[in-house]
Amino acid sequence: MNIKGLVFDSEFTFKTSRSGGAGGQNVNKVSTKVELDFDVVNSEILSEAQKEIILNKLTNKISKEGILQIISQTERNQLGNKEIAVKKFYELIHKCFVVEKKRRATKPSKGSKERRLQTKKRDSEIKKSRKPDW
């Protein structure tokens, strides 16, 4: 699956509200918190297979209606939070389509087996030497 070159910006909807935390005099007046909503189910950019992958991998972040919601409220201005939300969105989507390499099972080498046995012998000798001879 390749999503490089796809631009989702046309399908974003943004909501703003007052965010908590630091902000000084502006905290009760300015709506700096940004919510980015992306409708995965009704997206015209994504194929059905891509939609399935996103819905499976991001189940905790997608609502029952199929809307992916990302919230940003770290910055003190709306534009900064909007940029962070968009960046988070693209990072999430990119992570969905990264295929992890399968782990190949390997056996321990002969040398590592010998070293392990040598340390076990050494440790048992140390423990034996602690006990007094009766």
Q: What is the pLDDT of residues 10-44, one digit of tens each?
A: 888 898 888 776 666 666 777 888 999 999 988 88
Query: pTM to 2 decimals?
Result: 0.68
Q: Which residues are within 8 A (CB) of 116 and not within 5 positions of it... i.e. 6 or more apart?
A: 108
Kindly state whether residue 125 falls inside one of the protein's structural domains. no
Q: How many folded domains does the chain comprise?
A: 1
Kindly state whether residue 83 falls inside one of the protein's structural domains. yes
Kindly state whether residue 115 falls inside one of the protein's structural domains. no
Kindly state whether residue 47 falls inside one of the protein's structural domains. yes
Kindly state whether residue 68 falls inside one of the protein's structural domains. yes
Instruction: Judge residue 132's burial from the number of C-beta atoms within 10 Å of its C-beta, 0-12 exposed, 13-18 middle, 19 or more buried.
Output: exposed
Give the structural domain span for 59. 9-96
CATH code where residue 25 lies: 3.30.160.20
Kindly state whether residue 18 falls inside one of the protein's structural domains. yes
- Tens digits of residue pLDDT in 89-103: 999 989 988 888 999
Q: Which residues are within 8 A (CB) of 80 and not within 5 positions of it... i.e. 6 or more apart?
A: 74
Kindly state whether residue 29 falls inside one of the protein's structural domains. yes
